[in-house]
Structure 1
């Protein structure tokens, strides 16, 4: 079932993004009087379609992209018969270069607008849930798990600076932009002394590894009793709502799942717990009596997390900044791959990897966040100067505008073929790499 939910999310997301991208081309082409013969979300075979005016609109089976077929344009259709005829006034090739350039940029522009709108709306409707650096450090710092310990962090470390600079929101500690930076490091306070912890250039690969998910660091958050049932072990212990756990069954409680794990594996007849109540430390004890559950819900202390709402004006600025930060991270990632600091096999993800990011549970906030991210990534990738991508057409049209000379149709056809072979090979590599990651 989880696999179906993952697949449904990525198919819906890509269908939305491909649809708006190709619609950007279509609207620009029609604006300049070009004939659009076909509009398709997905690649053939066709599942369903209809014709409106001169354009056939299709929904096709393979949800890995889409296309618009504009009359008189050298594209993936390789319609040599049409291109051999004299140009007609409604064809792409008969229009001025600046109009053709706008048509080719139409899809990219719409993807950028879509990405910005998604992030603006997410910021406005959801705001932020912030935990401050001071809150975390006042409660004992971080919990360093395997990957954090491998980096040199220790449970109880207080991260006081990032790259030598102060910060406020603990989320900045896990910001991807920080990990992509050159010479990145934490400054931690440990046993009263400041220690610098360097971040290796390839550390982002380890964070993205499937085995490392959730295995880096966590803030120490007080584990509190939020709800309690009657006639349970919790009641016999004398627990009360808002009690903060210090230990349970002789083991320190540092995160929420510790309570469940300790109780589920406990074998003794009596159990003791140490809690903090109104600033006072209490030691409580009770008989287990074959109880399998403690009988409480655990939560967070009131005010530990701060909910921040933003006005629509603030959301526009923050959402736009968040959208373009995705592009800047892509540029940094490509730079590190070309320099050899990152392994492309570990850093690149295709449809399977993206589907896993959506997860096996449908959460709309996460769905739209990833869809916004993908919209910006698609805009960036399509702008790359590779023949068969929009960026390839933009490159040749820019040359034509600057030089005043149009590349020959034969040259454009051959460039299109080379680009298509390259993209097919890249697609095979990425999908094969996705499959390989499942087994290693």
Structure 2
């Protein structure tokens, strides 16, 4: 439960940062071109808001746990006081003149932005005057365009207002990557230094790999690190692999549908580095503590089997759940043994030392100036890699692996780690920028598509068309959100 809460808090904090700054991108360009921003909210606020604030006559006014400000409109009436109806028999709405609004009514001060925090933590929004979006419909756009509205601006001013959010998210990712490189540097394990070889999933084993192999080349090209293997095999569809096995080089040929098999088997960690089982910490009251094991002990055998690699030992213990096992271990050069009863899930109750404690990693430190171009390069390469991976979404097995908030939350570690948190926030910022730029109604890319149409034809799409497109887009996005989060729920229930 504790790990779930830590992941949830990391997810909420990360998405809050990204959404607020994304919307600020729209806000900044709107204000640059003197377009009014009616509302700026972190999280959504159906019916009421946790906090809302607005500057009135030079002073801030605050409301807590209050109902939302109603729209500044009323049914239009004719000279006889009868309501005016449109062609569908619905009342035609008109704006209430500011002179008729009571003093202190927030609607009387439309030139100031209403800031707030909603109660539904699924995003946020920036409501720009004169723009058909999810915060308003066509009845609120019936009046003539006003000088302070989005729709009165040229296409060359509206375009940066729309792409401002995507631009901020991408720049933010590069800033975060630069800061991470400056603060922590970059460290990874070159595959050639994998002292104990690699650990492979069942799909890999079924296709000729053996635990302990070292991957030398993929389609004739050397691979530097694990991420390169994942991209070349799953995304690029490379099939010819050369591995080092003992003192021999072995050629392996993968099937054309290998990536689909991996996705179907949900083998995320299908290539891992093998490392020895050296105890870091012993949990109080655990089987390990009761058996006398200590920090620094190196396990070298289970029930008479000579096993020293972490993955092999874990696999052996899983076959001996809730039973007594003989543990052989080395302490300060001395071979010792202990009889320990494992837990119901085959655990000792210990944490293991860093995987690469006795393996040479490659580490690069960055000064402040050097970290900036390095962060930009890393951000661009991450975007390129994600775009290449995106094609898997349109495959049969790839679509089944789409996940929602649960899957995103699992990307964060169970224990709070600021380096990983900022790395994941930068990665999510890249994803948010890319996904928002897709030409789908309701997303920024959809509005860009309308603007390109206007540039080519010289005509604006009608407000009625924009409203229908917006409704369709929001329906599709809602359906997608239900699907991906439904996938998470299904996996949580049936894939235990």
TM-score by length of 2: 0.73
Partners of 1:204 and 1:363 in 2: CA distance: 33
1:374 is matched with which residue?
Answer: 428
Give a deviation string over 1:293-335, Cα, whole Å, max 9, x none. Answer: 9x99866655633433123344333322332333333433333
Q: CA deviation at 1:401?
A: 1.9
Partners of 2:281 and 2:135 in 1: CA distance: 63
Q: CA deviation at 1:208?
A: 9.2
Query: Which structure 1 segments of 5+ residues have no match?
Result: 229-240, 278-283
How do 1:51-130 residues align onto structure 2 when only pairs under 5 Å count? 51-52=54-55, 54-130=112-188
- Corresponding position: 1:385 with 2:473: no
| 1:324 match: secondary structure | helix
Residues 291 and 104 (structure 1), Cα distance of their counterparts in 2 relative to 1, 3 Å cut: closer
Partners of 1:225 and 1:427 in 2: CA distance: 42
Partners of 2:136 and 2:325 in 1: CA distance: 73
Partners of 1:428 and 1:296 in 2: CA distance: 37
Kept in 2, the 8 Å contact 1:28–1:102? The answer is: yes
Partners of 1:91 and 1:393 in 2: CA distance: 16
Residues 95 and 177 (structure 1), Cα distance of their counterparts in 2 relative to 1, 3 Å cut: farther
Residues 252 and 55 (structure 1), Cα distance of their counterparts in 2 relative to 1, 3 Å cut: same
How do 1:205-354 residues align onto structure 2 when only pairs under 5 Å count? 206=262, 212=267, 214=269, 216-221=270-275, 250-256=304-310, 288=338, 302=358, 304-338=360-394, 340=395, 342-346=397-401, 348-354=402-408
Partners of 2:493 and 2:372 in 1: CA distance: 42
Query: Which structure 2 segments of 5+ residues have no match?
Result: 57-111, 283-294, 343-347
Residues 85 and 150 (structure 1), Cα distance of their counterparts in 2 relative to 1, 3 Å cut: same
| 1:310 match: secondary structure | coil
Kept in 1, the 8 Å contact 2:298–2:329? The answer is: no
Partners of 1:126 and 1:199 in 2: CA distance: 40
Between the two proteins, the alignment pairs up a number of residues equal to 416
1:10 is matched with which residue?
Answer: 11
How do 1:157-196 residues align onto structure 2 when only pairs under 5 Å count? 157-168=213-224, 170-176=225-231, 178-190=233-245, 192-196=248-252
Q: CA deviation at 1:190?
A: 3.0
Residues 223 and 399 (structure 1), Cα distance of their counterparts in 2 relative to 1, 3 Å cut: same
Q: CA deviation at 1:173?
A: 4.9
Residues 337 and 314 (structure 1), Cα distance of their counterparts in 2 relative to 1, 3 Å cut: same
Partners of 1:337 and 1:41 in 2: CA distance: 29
TM-score by length of 1: 0.81
| 2:45 match: secondary structure | strand
Residues 149 and 50 (structure 1), Cα distance of their counterparts in 2 relative to 1, 3 Å cut: same
- Corresponding position: 1:48 with 2:51: yes
Residues 291 and 87 (structure 1), Cα distance of their counterparts in 2 relative to 1, 3 Å cut: closer
Residues 40 and 259 (structure 1), Cα distance of their counterparts in 2 relative to 1, 3 Å cut: same
| 1:72 match: secondary structure | coil
Kept in 1, the 8 Å contact 2:303–2:325? The answer is: no
| 1:194 match: secondary structure | strand
| 2:119 match: secondary structure | strand
| 2:171 match: secondary structure | helix
Kept in 1, the 8 Å contact 2:131–2:149? The answer is: yes
- Corresponding position: 1:19 with 2:17: no
Partners of 2:422 and 2:483 in 1: CA distance: 27
CA RMSD of aligned residues (A): 3.7
2:471 is matched with which residue?
Answer: 417
Partners of 1:227 and 1:56 in 2: CA distance: 51
Kept in 1, the 8 Å contact 2:264–2:397? The answer is: no
Partners of 1:222 and 1:33 in 2: CA distance: 62
Q: CA deviation at 1:58?
A: 1.0
Q: CA deviation at 1:31?
A: 0.6
Kept in 2, the 8 Å contact 1:105–1:390? The answer is: yes
Partners of 2:166 and 2:351 in 1: CA distance: 52
| 1:64 match: secondary structure | strand
Partners of 2:281 and 2:18 in 1: CA distance: 43
Residues 290 and 382 (structure 1), Cα distance of their counterparts in 2 relative to 1, 3 Å cut: closer
